[in-house]
Amino acid sequence: MDLRTYGTFLNEKAHQSIESRRRRRRARASAPIDLSTWMSNMPDAAPISSLTIPGTHDSAAYDVVWPFVATQSLTLEEQLLSGIRYFDFRCGLVKDVLEMVHGRALLGRTLSSCLEILYAFLATHPSEALIVQLKQDRAPESSTIPFPTAVWSLLSPSSRHWRLDPTTPSLADLRSKIQLLRRFPGPPYHGIDVLRWQDNPDRPFTIKTWSGIELVVQDHYNPSEPTALPDFVERKAADVTGMLDLAARDPDLQRWYINFVSGYEFNLYFQASPHDVAVGGWWYYRWVEGVNRRVVEWLGETKGRRTRTTRTRTRYGIVVMDYPQKPDGELLGFLVGTNSEKRESKGVSARAVLAMALVLLVIFVGGCLLVLIHGPAEGHYWCPPSLHACALRGPWGATRETEAG
């Protein structure tokens, strides 16, 4: 049995303690920057598609009791301060008001209130840039206007906060603004049109917009047939890491990659909530690691390989998560840290140098103590043979001159 994946309660907790300390050390090395302003360290000329950008799936689904509706435990303010820069907003029009929803469930907040939080953050963090994917997730109810009209009526008074161009922006173009990804009908020049989004395909798909943008998307969130939690999480993690590798290997930094880490399962045989898939859950008496932790481990191993080849900056694209701060808080730091262009030193660490110095000091002191206790061996000299001359005091006697060589 692989205790990194399964185990009894005590084994799992012991493993979590050891692994979490290791990951915390790696995360500190990966992202020694303030996550609330991490884009301030990025070059203005960088296309937004050339960055690794943390995002959340169903970003407004927090403070929800039903586990199959909830996807987050951080508020929007907390998500922003934690480095999230991509937001997945699902809406429904109810009595001419754009309500935040997750499927059929109303979340008790409006799109207007969510956007005000984003606007307030950008006002105090002008170096940052946001992407909002806006989707119509249910048909209008008791409304007199169409969904697109309601959206444009809401965005128009705040147009200074938005970039509605259908092209890929540079970071300079998008600082203190929001790029719209549009998953509802509308004019082609209003945001980047991703209306041809596929529902739960088992492989990544590509959207080509009329303006020439290519977006590669991995959004396989539900198994096509009933699958036990261990197998489902393993397959989902393979989907995610395969997409991460695809994005990292692609030399075309203008091509977008959107990679959903989220998933769930609800059928007659198996039920796995978004929290179970992302963070982990019990399968009978065994604990199953969630996808988030598996992605952290994959990033850590990949970072080690890049370090050996002196390549430390890697583009993984937009990574969209449920509960991104769980289980240990390292995933966000790892993702943001991949944007760093610093080369890591492959020399001996300061801790290793200190340890070597202490060992040599102990050997030296030990040798001196032996000489003080027993004296020099009879007939042997103190001086190294490399010296031309040295003076040796005999065993506590007179000094004797000797010529070396």
- Kindly tell me if the per-residue pLDDT of 331 is higher than 90: yes
- The domain limits of the chain are 9-337, 350-403
Q: What is the mean pLDDT of residues 56-75?
A: 97
Read off the tokens for 94.
């109810």
Whether 162 has a pLDDT exceeding 80, the answer reads: yes
pLDDT (0 to 100) of residue 347: 45
Place of tokens 């990194």: 4
Across 202-225, average pLDDT:
97
Q: Inform me whether the pLDDT recorded for 401 exceeds 70.
A: no
Alpha helices, DSSP H, located in 37-87:
76-81
For residue 395, the model assigns a pLDDT of 47
Q: What pLDDT does 357 receive?
A: 78
- In the predicted model, is pLDDT for residue 45 greater than 90? yes
Cross-strand pairs, 399 = 393
pLDDT digits (tens, 9 = 90+) for 94-139: 999 999 999 999 999 999 999 999 999 999 999 999 999 999 999 9
- pLDDT per position as a tens digit, 164-191: 999 999 999 999 999 999 999 998 889 9
Greatest mean pLDDT among 4-8, 130-134, 311-315, 326-330 lies in: 130-134
DSSP labels, 279-295: HEEEETTEEEE-HHHHH
| Banded pLDDT at 25 (limits 50, 70, 90) | low
> Is pLDDT of 356 > 70?
yes
The topology (CATH level 3) of 9-337 is: TIM Barrel (3.20.20)
pLDDT exceeds cutoff 80 at 141: yes
Q: Are residues 72 and 81 in contact, defined by beta-carbon separation less than 8 angstroms?
A: no
Among 259, 382, 323, residue whose Cα is nearest residue 73 = 323
- Indicate whether 377 pLDDT > 50: yes
pLDDT(163) > 90: yes
DSSP label of 5 = T
